[in-house]
Amino acid sequence: MLNSLDAVDFYGDNEQVEHRHILYCEPLTTRSERHDWMIQPHRHRDLHQIFFVVKGGGQVQLDEQQLSVSAPVLLSIPEGHMHGFQWEPGSEGFVLSIVSAAISEISPGAYQAAFQEGAILQDIPAQTCEDLQLICKQLKREAEGHGQFEEQMTIALLRQMVVHIARCTSQHEDVPGQYSKAERKFLQFKALIAQFGTTHHQVGWYAGKIGVSAAHLNQLCQQHASVNALSMIHRHLLVEAKRHLMFADFSITSIAYRIGFKDPAHFTKFFTKKAGLSPLKFRQETRDKASPETA
């Protein structure tokens, strides 16, 4: 169990990295083999990761979700999301770590949700697998070299990858050519929640940041998420609370303070109402269910 949910740059590295490139690419074996194929749950700051497994598979934990995967499979994991793995020995693939600030440049318009929301793609068509492997090999070569126009080539290759990801999602046929102004505002709101969701700002604060009224922001949320803006903020708080309860040994009082609650009793009431059980009961149940391989 972790003593902290502080984000890391790269698993197993204690030092913070100054990101001088938009992409870091390495074989799946680089860290997995070093750690006996067990990657404990963790999360990253400022990095969106893509795991493309071409051989083997294993057990995957993504926040509360646990599942078994077999090659070929692609996992797209946004920054801040807890993830851990128990890979089968001998598994092979690629790990792409993309600096989050570059996402809007890599995937402007219609396919940005393929990165923002994350994805688990299984049953990938054979031709798509071949295309993705070729893209990953080219990205690895660009990441290792210092060729002319390296960043431009990397962006071009990543744009190809995000189109493949979008094509493989069930919603890809309904994706428009470009996001509308309203959709862009909604995505901006979601990004702000991810950044400031534990600071307990009011809906009006978020609305001001994206240049709309609180009423208009509520309309956008109802249109795109079928809930109001406050419910979306509360969803984020609940997810953060669950992450701390599942993956860290902090007391419930400490967790309440860490995610911005001034009164631990208020946190317990909030969590119980939203999750349907108390923080203590949730922690007990999730840890009882967790297998030794992924806990």
Give 168's pLDDT tier (boundaries 50, 70, 90). confident
pTM across the whole model: 0.72
Question: Where are the chain's structural domains?
Answer: 23-174, 181-289
Residue 169 or 167, more confident? 167
Q: Which residue has the tokens 């995505």?
A: 187
Span 79-92, mean pLDDT? 92
Instruction: Please tell me the distance from the alpha carbon of residue 58 to that of residue 207, in angstroms, as a whole number.
Output: 42
Superfamily of chain region 23-174: Regulatory protein AraC (2.60.120.280)
Residues 6 or more apart in contact with residue 230 via CB below 8 angstroms: 203
Query: What amino acid is encoded at 186 in this protein?
Result: F
As beta bridge partners, residue 191 has none
Res 43: pLDDT: 86
For domain 181-289, which CATH number applies: 1.10.4080.10, 3.30.960.10, 3.40.50.10190, 1.10.10.60? Answer: 1.10.10.60
Query: What amino acid is encoded at 209 in this protein?
Result: K
Residues 6 or more apart in contact with residue 107 via CB below 8 angstroms: 114, 115, 158, 159, 162
Residues 6 or more apart in contact with residue 9 via CB below 8 angstroms: 15, 16, 17, 44, 45, 46, 47
Mind listing the pLDDT tens digit for each residue in 142-152? Answer: 888 767 788 88
Query: Which tokens sit at 58?
Result: 């294993």
Instruction: Please tell me the distance from the alpha carbon of residue 61 to that of residue 267, in angstroms, as a whole number.
Output: 26
Res 12: pLDDT: 52
Span 38-48, mean pLDDT? 87
Give 86's pLDDT tier (boundaries 50, 70, 90). very high
CA-to-CA separations, 161 to 146, 189, 235, 284, 286, in angstroms, rounded: 21, 25, 30, 40, 35
Q: Does residue 13 surpass a pLDDT of 60? A: no
Res 260: pLDDT: 94
Give 171's pLDDT tier (boundaries 50, 70, 90). very low
Q: Which residue has the tokens 């893509």?
A: 50
Q: Which residue has the tokens 């949910």?
A: 5
